[in-house]
Amino acid sequence: MHHPTLCTVAVALLSALPGTQAIYTKKSPVLQVEAKNYDRLIAKSNYTSIVEFYAPWCGHCKNLKPAYEKVAKNLEGLAKVAAVNCDDEANKPLCGSMGIQGFPTLKIVRPKKGGGKPVVQDYQGPRTASAMVDAVVQQINNLVVKVEDKSLDKFLSDKKESPKAILFTDKGTTSALLKSIAIDFADVITIGQARNKETRAVETFAIEKFPTLVLLPGGDAPAIVYDGDLKKEALVKFLSQAGSPNPDPPVKANGQKEKKAKNSNGNKASEKKTSSSKTSSAPTESETETSTQQAPVIVETALPIPAINSPEKLIKECLTEKSHTCVLAFVSSNEDEAAKKALASLSELAFKHAQSKRHLFPFYEVPRSNEGASALLKALDLSGDVEVIAINARRGWWRHYEGADFGHESVEAWIDAIRLSEGVKKKLPEGIVAISTEEATPAASSSVPTPDATEAESSEEATPVTPEAGAASDSTEPPATKGADPTGEPETAAEHDEL
Ligand SMILES: *[C@@H]1O[C@H](CO)[C@@H](O)[C@H](O)[C@H]1NC(C)=O
């Protein structure tokens, strides 16, 4: 803030006025809850929520806003992120009964499995987006049934007529995304998860890759293997052919079973949708569309991978002390089979991430003819015809793709490991990162509001995690560059919307 004094005065004035402004606007991803709908939206939801109790005049509450909105975006579809204005007369009894004594107070509300009053806990961790996201994700109820070879028959024969779905995965843990899907379909479709090492289960359904989702519509209906994008909306749509997800918030019966397939967590968008379906008895257009459509087979397409043709560009994009993760594919000629395959795998991935508006570091093709390329490869001691690396100059690490064939899956697994910060990072040798490149990096310094030491924390929180601009718009730009987070934080926060 440039005028702290003025601002304080303005805040004081505002707070003296009746009906103080809510901190969150209508467009905010944060769900604004009032005493009159708190029960319906939060206490009776099957979703875990985080609720901020605030007062509009409180400075810490205002400071929390960017991070909290980031949390809401990050948890969209997974948990509810809500705020209650305790300055509003109508909400005072609620804030009192919740024992609110200072602002902001953050509480995590977790539904009891099987009903009853939810468990409410104060959140007292750091007020950074990633810490809040992680705390909420930990509290998401897990209704996913573990399916093992020894329990497979029982899983399949239990409630034989009712639909089930199994996610085959090579992961040992259950993702927040799958948990959220199990919550959507609680008592409608039993959701199971089987690991790749459960060979009998894997063979029973002839699973060849992981993750794969299989829907068993019930009775003797044949299994349907999902073949689309692994993001929430598409998955819910696919499963909806076997049963409608539970509307959240619940809709009062009006003769017709309500259906909805999107945004089932009840964050802003679906709240709007549900209230409109409450006032008019007909489902809204998008509801009709999603509930009548057949299982989508989303055709995967690709985004072009931009090329870096000069050493200057290479430095500017990826090698300054402020550069975030870049994935570089060094190719001698893009006619070469391996090069084609590597670039195709990266293009598909770029597309997939842009589609789900997910933050992803940019990918570049770097022709070997670029002098910068040969120098960098030499420094990293790489000599293959095609080399794919990830590099983060700001943090001084790099990783080498060591998969066999540059195939889609192996490249994706490698990229995922980077996103999740799994696996080994190598230290960048000295002299690779261009120091003090203020002038040389107009792009970096204009898109990033130069975080100096004192501002670093607030600027970190001020940046939206999901780059809206990242969607397949400008083909000369890599998909994630524009809205890329200058802090690198989303690499840890983004994992939750993965299966
Ligand atoms: C919550 O889950 C139960 C099944 O356990 C379901 O019947 C109910 O409709 C769900 N409620 C909401 C609000 O999703």
* Structural domains of the chain ordered from first start: 17-138 (3.40.30.10), 145-239 (3.40.30.10), 252-271+300-445 (3.40.30.10)
Does ligand 1 lie within 6 Å of residue 45's CB atom?
yes
Measure the CA–CA gap between 181 and 395, rounded to whole angstroms. Answer: 36
User: From ligand 1's centre to the CA of 246, what distance in Å?
Assistant: 6
pLDDT for the residue 347: 87
**Edge-to-edge strands of the sheet including 190-195?**
145-147, 190-195, 164-169, 212-216, 224-225
Strand-pair category, 190-195 with 164-169: parallel
Q: Cα–Cα distances in Å, from 468 out to 175, 284, 346, 485?
A: 24, 25, 20, 12
pLDDT for the residue 357: 64
Q: Determine the residue type at 48.
A: T
* Bridge partners for 351 per DSSP: none
Q: Cα–Cα distances in Å, from 82 out to 48, 161, 192, 228?
A: 11, 38, 29, 31
Q: In the 8-state DSSP scheme, what is residue 320?
A: B
Top mutation candidate among 37, 41, 46 for ligand 1, by most atoms within 8 Å of CB: 46
Measure the CA–CA gap between 392 and 400, rounded to whole angstroms. Answer: 12
Alpha helices, DSSP H, located in 206-255:
232-239
Q: What is the pLDDT of residues 134-153, one digit of tens each?
A: 999 999 999 999 999 999 99
Contacts of 219 (CB under 8 A, 6+ apart): 160, 161
pLDDT for the residue 303: 76
- Residue with CA at minimum distance from ligand 1 atom 3: 186
Measure the CA–CA gap between 81 and 346, rounded to whole angstroms. Answer: 33
Tokens of 60: 């810490």
Measure the CA–CA gap between 246 and 12, rounded to whole angstroms. Answer: 44
In contact, 218 and 228? CB cutoff 8 Å:
no
Tokens of 412: 């994706």
User: From ligand 1's centre to the CA of 141, what distance in Å?
Assistant: 13
pLDDT for the residue 427: 92
- Residue with CA at minimum distance from ligand 1 atom 7: 187
- Residue with CA at minimum distance from ligand 1 atom 2: 186
For residue 47, the ligand 1 atom closest to its alpha carbon is: 14
Top mutation candidate among 246, 248, 252 for ligand 1, by most atoms within 8 Å of CB: 246
For residue 249, the ligand 1 atom closest to its alpha carbon is: 13
Does ligand 1 lie within 6 Å of residue 290's CB atom?
no
In 3-state terms the chain splits into helix, strand, coil percentages (rounded to 5) of 35, 15, 50
Q: Where are the beta strands (DSSP E) in 148-296?
A: 164-169, 190-195, 212-216, 224-225
Does ligand 1 lie within 6 Å of residue 39's CB atom?
no
**CB-CB neighbours of 332 under 10 Å:** 16
Does ligand 1 lie within 6 Å of residue 264's CB atom?
no
For residue 247, the ligand 1 atom closest to its alpha carbon is: 14
- Residue with CA at minimum distance from ligand 1 atom 1: 46
User: From ligand 1's centre to the CA of 206, what distance in Å?
Assistant: 33
Top mutation candidate among 162, 187, 236, 257 for ligand 1, by most atoms within 8 Å of CB: 187
pLDDT for the residue 278: 31
pLDDT for the residue 184: 97
Tokens of 200: 């009998």
In contact, 191 and 218? CB cutoff 8 Å:
no
Tokens of 189: 């479709």
Predicted TM-score of the model (pTM): 0.55
Q: In the 8-state DSSP scheme, what is residue 30?
A: S
Ranges under pLDDT 70 in the chain: 1-20, 252-301, 334, 355-359, 435-494
Closest CA to 348 of 404, 388, 301: 301
Does ligand 1 lie within 6 Å of residue 463's CB atom?
no
Does ligand 1 lie within 6 Å of residue 188's CB atom?
no
In contact, 219 and 236? CB cutoff 8 Å:
no
Q: Determine the residue type at 129.
A: A
Does ligand 1 lie within 6 Å of residue 244's CB atom?
no
For residue 246, the ligand 1 atom closest to its alpha carbon is: 14
The HSE-up count of residue 92 (CA atoms within 13 Å, CB side) is 5
Does ligand 1 lie within 6 Å of residue 46's CB atom?
yes
User: From ligand 1's centre to the CA of 50, what distance in Å?
Assistant: 19
Strand-pair category, 190-195 with 224-225: unpaired
pLDDT for the residue 356: 67
